[in-house]
Amino acid sequence: MATHESHKKRSGLMDWLTTVDHKKIGILYLLAGGFFFLIGGLEAVLMRIQLMEPDSKIFTGELYNQLLTMHGTTMIFLAAMPIIFGFMNAIVPLQLGARDVAFPYVNAVGFWLFFFGGVLLNLSWFLGGAPEAGWTAYAPLSTVAEDTGVDFYVLGLQIAGAGTLAGGINFLVTIINMRAPGMTFMRMPLFTWASFVTSGLILFAFPALTVGFFLLMFERVFDANFFNPDMGGNILIWEHIFWIFGHPEVYILILPAFGIISEVISTFSNKRLFGYSAMVFATVLIGFLGFMVWVHHMFTVGLGPVANSIFAVATMAIAIPTGVKIFNWIFTMWGGQIRFSTAMLFAVGFVPTFVMGGVTGVMLSVPAADYQYHDSYFVVAHFHYVIVGGLILGLFSGLYYWYPRMFNRVLNETLGKWNFWLFFIGFHLTFFPQHWLGLMGMPRRVYTYMSGQDLDGANFVSTIGAILMGAGTIVLLINIIISASSKYATTKDPWDGRTLEWAMPVPTPEYNFAQTPLVRGLDALYVEKTAGNGEMTPAEPVGEIHMPNGSILPFILSLGMFISGFGFIYSNWYVAGAGLGLVLITMFLRSIIDDHGYHIHKEEVEADIKGGRA
């Protein structure tokens, strides 16, 4: 077999800019997503400071609108999804027993598109003001806004969204085509299942958003008339398109958290997951129903009682598979040998918190009642209970759980527990009072309220809670900094794990598995542990391993999109054309340069195995 000599070892910054290794891309996603999480969190704390006292005048008017728009947009698109993608990249191929993802190059393109899209959006703060039409960018708020904020929103998210779609397809193909021998669908770990369904949702939800952004961009940049009633347009088209994407989006966010919780609870209860096949079925069913319910965001629009009722019933139906999951997590813990590590604390804290968010979700799904709750703080409380109390607690849990695998170090457990309690108590202090604020009539998206209306106390408590959540996050940062200065952990399996990602040495070799493992049951590693083997049985002899070459092209391609984004925002067609030209040149180079990757020789792999490095 011919060995390709094109392989260049890169180091330092160039290694990170050109990497196509899914483990490194996972770290990049986590770092970039974590950075945007801090920015989005800062925006939230600033809003809560404004709302701490009645009639406060710190961040008012347009600035407040920018803060709330950027908080929502950043947290959903630039923090939550990238962090999920970080875990998917770092863990899914390992859980499958795969050497790589299906399209390593496309994977890198996906990351850099997200990154440059996020940077473009946030540059709006410095270039004439951030978008101020809310994260939903409802027409006509978004179409008539005079400054360039909404243009940054449209172009930045369009670029980032293209990256997300690429990532979704990549994971679908990876999971379908690249499972190790014996890894049947019904033996896949729940996190991989959740990633699979999430990727499917991305595939069918994001193109709708792509079209929505194109329409809004054409409306603003080329004077189209989709949403302008004077010219025959209809603003409801934007709302429908946005929520046809937007509702599945919340399941894109929450399903991976469900997956993480399933892994963590099973591992730290030292039991296999209760009702595994019911969990898989519930995940798929939630994914399916997620597409059927977008109109519950539009009950007060006036689509009529028939449409409202159908979508109300479909919405309520989601509570059933979700309830199945909740009970299965509880039954997994029942009778288990529970170890309350930080990861497990976050997972256990998740369960009742998410249930509370789910209950208010069912309350909101009654159209008649929704007329009362609509656009009040009750809605704010509901979705933060689901997204923060569900997704973010899940992500924290996953971070503490997988940190040893991703960064070869264990986070400090004492600081971790401080992080959990500060964040958990802060969270409930922030959002629980908001249910009452909403029922008392406090509208969302409004920067002030008057004193003497019984809104003061709850708002004050809410702000204190937000500051506690911030403090919890700072403890996490300290923990990460301390761990970064410590040595590599020597243990490859710190939690007595059950799934394949714990079967490799630390640090994970670039080719993951020296020999593709043979999977002989659910919780593949645990099966081998109980059989007395302690490690996976290989499914193939030691041989040459084929690896993809790194490439700078994904970075340049995304840079081209970034440049053309500026061109469209400022209606400078030369810049827009130059950016798109750069994209086409990159695609052209990618297609004419033959790149078949390189091979790691059998002797090297054997040496790694002998030295305990593979």
Partner 1 sequence: MNAGERLTDANFPAHPEKATLEGKNKFLGFWLFLGGETVLFATLFGTYLGLRNMHLEGPSGAELFSLPLVFLATMLLLTSSLTSVYAVLSLKQNKVRSLQGWFLVTLLLGLGFLGLEIYEFIHYVHEGHTFTSSAFGSAFYTLVGFHGAHVLFGILWITTLLARNWNRGITLSNAPKYYLFALYWHFVDVVWVFIFTVVYLMGKVG
Nearer to partner 1, 178 or 455 (CB): 178
Question: Which tokens hold the place of 330?
Answer: 């509880």
Distance of closest approach, residue 609 Cβ to partner 1, in angstroms: 23
> Do the Cβ atoms of 6 and 598 come closer than 8 Å?
yes
DSSP 443: B
Task: Determine if residue 246 is left, alpha or beta; phi over 0 gives left, psi from -120 to 50 gives alpha, anything else beta.
Answer: alpha
Nearer to partner 1, 136 or 408 (CB): 136
Q: Which of residues 17, 123, 173, 319 is near partner 1 by CB under 8 A?
A: 173
Nearer to partner 1, 169 or 317 (CB): 169
Contacts (CB under 8 A) with partner 1, residues 176-205: 176-178, 203-205
Nearer to partner 1, 210 or 448 (CB): 210
Distance CA 506, CA 488 (A): 8
Scanning 236-244, 345-353, 451-459, 515-523 for contacts with partner 1 by CB under 8 A, the matching segment is: 236-244
- SS3 annotation, 445-488: CCCCCCCCCCCHHHHHHHHHHHHHHHHHHHHHHHHHHHHHCCCC
Nearer to partner 1, 358 or 550 (CB): 550
Nearer to partner 1, 287 or 390 (CB): 287
Three-state DSSP at 334 gives coil
DSSP 303: -
493 CB-near residues (< 8 Å, 6+ apart): 502, 503, 525
Nearer to partner 1, 63 or 224 (CB): 224
Contacts (CB under 8 A) with partner 1, residues 206-235: 206-208, 210-212, 214-215, 218-219, 222-226, 228, 231-234
Distance of closest approach, residue 357 Cβ to partner 1, in angstroms: 28
> Do the Cβ atoms of 473 and 70 come closer than 8 Å?
no
Nearer to partner 1, 306 or 592 (CB): 592
Nearer to partner 1, 244 or 399 (CB): 244
Scanning 171-179, 383-391, 411-419, 461-469 for contacts with partner 1 by CB under 8 A, the matching segment is: 171-179
> Is 364 a binder of partner 1 (CB under 8 A)?
no
Distance CA 236, CA 219 (A): 15
Residue 325 host element (H or E) = helix 319-333
> Is 2 a binder of partner 1 (CB under 8 A)?
yes
Distance CA 528, CA 536 (A): 6
Only one residue has tokens 């919405």, namely 315
Distance of closest approach, residue 243 Cβ to partner 1, in angstroms: 12
Q: Which of residues 172, 298, 314, 351 is near partner 1 by CB under 8 A?
A: 172
477 CB-near residues (< 8 Å, 6+ apart): none
> Do the Cβ atoms of 478 and 412 come closer than 8 Å?
no
In order, the DSSP letters of 87-112 are HHHHHHHHHHT-SS-S-HHHHHHHHH
Distance CA 346, CA 352 (A): 11
| Pairing, β 545-547 against β 598-600 | antiparallel
> Do the Cβ atoms of 560 and 586 come closer than 8 Å?
yes
- SS3 annotation, 500-534: HHHCCCCCCCCCCCCCCECCCCCCHHHHHHHCCCC
Contacts (CB under 8 A) with partner 1, residues 579-608: 584, 588, 591-592, 594, 596
Distance of closest approach, residue 323 Cβ to partner 1, in angstroms: 30
Distance of closest approach, residue 229 Cβ to partner 1, in angstroms: 9
Nearer to partner 1, 307 or 439 (CB): 307
For Cα atoms 114, 419, 84, give the angle at the middle one, nearest 5 degrees: 25
Contacts (CB under 8 A) with partner 1, residues 343-362: none
Distance of closest approach, residue 446 Cβ to partner 1, in angstroms: 32
Distance CA 310, CA 293 (A): 9
> Is 485 a binder of partner 1 (CB under 8 A)?
no
Nearer to partner 1, 212 or 349 (CB): 212
Q: Which of residues 69, 124, 142, 170 is near partner 1 by CB under 8 A?
A: 170
Distance of closest approach, residue 203 Cβ to partner 1, in angstroms: 5
Instruction: Tally DSSP H helices, then E strands, for the chain.
Output: 22, 2
Contacts (CB under 8 A) with partner 1, residues 508-567: none
Q: Which of residues 17, 169, 552, 556 is near partner 1 by CB under 8 A?
A: 169
347 CB-near residues (< 8 Å, 6+ apart): 260, 261, 264, 265, 268, 393, 394, 397
Q: Which of residues 92, 244, 261, 563 is near partner 1 by CB under 8 A?
A: 244
> Do the Cβ atoms of 162 and 557 come closer than 8 Å?
no
Q: How many residues bind partner 1 (CB under 8 A)?
A: 45
359 CB-near residues (< 8 Å, 6+ apart): none
Site string for partner 1, 67-106 (x = CB under 8 A): -----------------------------------xx---
Site string for partner 1, 139-168 (x = CB under 8 A): --------------------------x---
Contacts (CB under 8 A) with partner 1, residues 8-67: none
Distance of closest approach, residue 208 Cβ to partner 1, in angstroms: 5
Task: Determine if residue 564 is left, alpha or beta; phi over 0 gives left, psi from -120 to 50 gives alpha, anything else beta.
Answer: alpha
Nearer to partner 1, 173 or 471 (CB): 173
Nearer to partner 1, 211 or 482 (CB): 211
Neighbours of 293 (CB within 10 A): 23
Distance of closest approach, residue 284 Cβ to partner 1, in angstroms: 16
Nearer to partner 1, 173 or 369 (CB): 173
Distance of closest approach, residue 138 Cβ to partner 1, in angstroms: 16
Q: Which residues bind partner 1 (CB under 8 A)?
A: 1-2, 102-103, 165, 169-170, 172-173, 176-178, 203-208, 210-212, 214-215, 218-219, 222-226, 228, 231-234, 237, 240-241, 244, 584, 588, 591-592, 594, 596
